[in-house]
């Protein structure tokens, strides 16, 4: 049985969009990416540890670009063995169109993941104000 003081695992917390400080509360207002216009809305602060979520000024745009390009080239892993690529026919164009469609369909999730990666890079585990205050009192 896991105790409440046990450190939650990093990757499950990251992919389930949990707070980078306590890894328990959700970061986004909506759990789903729908409606798309509100899929990136962050809560003001974590309900459990009090970590401010909107203190970052960068939305993770550079990380989003890197994730999109990685996914674009990872599409080769499934496209090339199934359909093949050749400069002699139009298969390169079909690859570009199919990869673009995959990246566009996954873009809302990639945008959320890039914002989470940005938060996880700059907010350490257990460094929130509320956790520090609770641990300072016996």
Q: Is residue 23 situated within a structural domain?
A: yes
- Across residues 46-66, what is the average pLDDT? 79
- pLDDT score of 37 more than 60: yes
pTM (predicted TM-score): 0.77
Token pair listed for 61: 């745009």
pLDDT at res. 125? 78
Q: Which residues contact 100 (CB under 8 A, 6 or more apart)?
A: 72
- pLDDT score of 10 more than 80: yes
pLDDT at res. 126? 72
Domain that holds residue 57: 10-132
Q: How many domains does the chain have?
A: 1
Task: Name the CA dihedral angle for 29, 35, 36, 40, rounded to a multiple of 10 degrees.
Answer: 0
Residue with tokens 């199919």: 98
Q: Is residue 138 situated within a structural domain?
A: no
The lowest-confidence range among 4-18, 29-43, 94-108 is 4-18
CB atoms inside a 10 Å sphere around CB 14: 16
Per the prediction, the chain carries an average pLDDT of: 83
Tell which wins on pLDDT, 6 or 99: 99
């Amino acid at each position: 049985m896991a105790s409440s003081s046990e450190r939650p695992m990093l990757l499950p917390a990251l992919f389930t969009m949990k707070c980078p400080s306590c890894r328990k509360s959700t970061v986004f207002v909506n759990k789903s990416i729908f409606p798309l216009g509100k899929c990136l809305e962050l809560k003001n602060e974590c309900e459990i540890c009090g970590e401010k979520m909107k203190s970052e000024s960068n939305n993770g745009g550079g990380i989003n670009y890197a994730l999109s390009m990685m996914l674009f080239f990872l599409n080769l892993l499934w496209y090339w063995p199934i359909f093949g690529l050749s400069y002699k026919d139009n298969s390169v164009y079909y690859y570009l169109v199919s990869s673009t469609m995959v990246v566009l369909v996954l873009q809302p999730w990639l945008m959320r993941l890039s914002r989470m990666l940005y938060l996880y890079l700059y907010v350490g585990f257990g460094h929130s104000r509320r956790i520090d205050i609770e641990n300072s009192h016996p």
